[in-house]
Amino acid sequence: MAGIALLARERGFEVSGSDAQVYPPMSTQLSDAGILLHDGYDADSLEDDVDMFIIGNAITRGNPQLEAILNDNRPYRSGPQWLYEAVLCDRWVLAVAGTHGKTTTSSMLAWILEFSGLQPGYLIGGVGQNFEHSARLGEGPFFIIEADEYDTALFDKRSKFVHYHPRTLVLNNLEFDHADIFDDLVAIQRQFHHLVRMMPANGLIIHNRDSQALDEVLAMGCWSECLGFSQEPNSNGFSLDKGLVLHDNVKAEVHRLELQQTGQFNALNASAAALAARHAGVPLKTSLLALQQFKGVKRRQEVIAEINGIRVIDDFAHHPTAIDLTLRALKAETRGQLYAVIDIRSNTMKMGIHASQFAKSIASADTVLLCEDDTVKWDIRAIEAPAPTMVEIKPNVDDVIDYLLKNCREGDQIVIMSNGGFDNIHNKLIQSLRSRH
């Protein structure tokens, strides 16, 4: 929604909005763009001369502003519908979908096209370090979008990505998530099938061949050209060798991939981005040069401080698979101890859908710290015994920080994993570490 607000502002609209519990980097870029942000949903704050209200999918019946809009019969749209009508309808859309890696892959793809001089537009659910904002209109025909499977709005329960009509589609991976709106993986696969069957015949679907769930989606029906990427050798697309070499088996060429980001998962993201860019006319060699200069994305393995040899990292991971892959990558480059501070915040995690996977996902950390939370529907203490690492459960963020201050030493890394503000733990920890030294 912040990105949509930025695009509307760039189109020349006067934009304001309402939200609750806002935090950087989105709140900062909205303010910098001159977009007025109201804290809360008081109906009295609605202006009288509004041409269109864009309703986010977090808004439900009973919201004072929504009720006022409906009662007064004022014009409204969902974000994805407005986006297609106002921005995407005449663009070559390159969409990145999947359970994990959407933000990073979209940012990589946008940077490759920018590096190539194509001046793309983009809308991404995070702020790439190579760009100032998470969204812009761009100058050329290409528009990159992070394509989320979450539902569109309370009045449109289709996945958001069915509105985007991509010509180039990346399917990174597929697992069960968003248990608050999907009953099972099959329900999510059905939405991905809806996306696939709206692709043009002359479009391209770039898919992860290691994902059985995606194979099943494509088996439901596919009318576009497909190109795969994989960790293992395959005859249709790219395969990876230890995350360093891309094998293009179509042309029997070998291309070296050099990234500033660690881990096999980022290498897969990069290979998908390079394939998508090639569909837009960018040579592989150009993409690989661009990826060498890709600086990453805020809140994705982002080093936010290094204090007396202790590195503090911010990461958005909140699904067991993402937690596992991120911790594996970080552990490989940690000289001392790796501390993982994890916020159980997403609806799916709070419901306990992935509780059985969680203990295994944290194995690469030396110590995991969690906060007690009455809103979590499962007993987080149940993971202490089966977890292959030390688990510390603290009453609140301040106690987590106290533990880290007493135990962290030079060479250690602390990764804070949350898809929210996490009670401002990032700044509190940094200030405390500086005061300690």
pLDDT bucket at 218, cuts 50 / 70 / 90: very high
Average the pLDDT over 180-193 and give the result.
91
Q: How far apart are CA 254 and CA 250, in angstroms?
A: 11
Q: How confident is the model at residue 178, as a pLDDT?
A: 73
| DSSP codes, 50-94 | -S-EEEPTT--TT-HHHHHHHHTT--EEEHHHHHIIIIITTSEEE
Question: Which DSSP string do the residues of 340-376 spell out, in sequence order?
Answer: EEE---SHHHHHTTTHHHHHHHTTT-SEEEEE--TT-
Q: How confident is the model at residue 247 (pLDDT cuts 50, 70, 90)?
A: low
**282: pLDDT strictly greater than 80:** yes
At 363-383, the pLDDT tens digits run: 999 999 999 888 887 788 877
Is the pLDDT reported for residue 346 higher than 90?
no
Highest mean pLDDT among 71-75, 293-297, 394-398: 71-75
* One-letter amino acid of 161: F
Phi, psi of 205 (to 5 degrees): -110, 120
The reported pLDDT for the residue numbered 302 is 87
Sign of dihedral through CA atoms 244, 249, 254, 256?
negative
Tell me the per-residue pLDDT of 298-327, one tens digit each, with 9 for 90 and over.
Answer: 777 888 899 999 999 998 877 888 888 889
Confidence of residue 63 (pLDDT cuts 50, 70, 90): very high
With a cut of 90, say whether residue 251 has pLDDT above it.
Answer: no
pTM of the model: 0.79
Helix (H) or strand (E) holding 417: strand 413-417
Element (H, E) at 390: strand 390-394
Please tell me the predicted confidence (pLDDT) of residue 70.
97
Tell me the pLDDT tens digit for each residue of 95-135.
999 988 899 999 999 999 999 999 999 999 888 889 988 89
Instruction: Say whether pLDDT at 43 is over 60.
Output: yes
Q: Determine the pLDDT at residue 42.
A: 94
pLDDT of residue 233: 65
Of 362, 294, 357, the residue nearest 129 (C-alpha): 294
Q: What domains can be seen in the chain, in order of their start residue?
A: 2-78 (3.40.50.720), 80-292 (3.40.1190.10), 302-436 (3.90.190.20)
Average pLDDT of the chain to the nearest whole number: 89
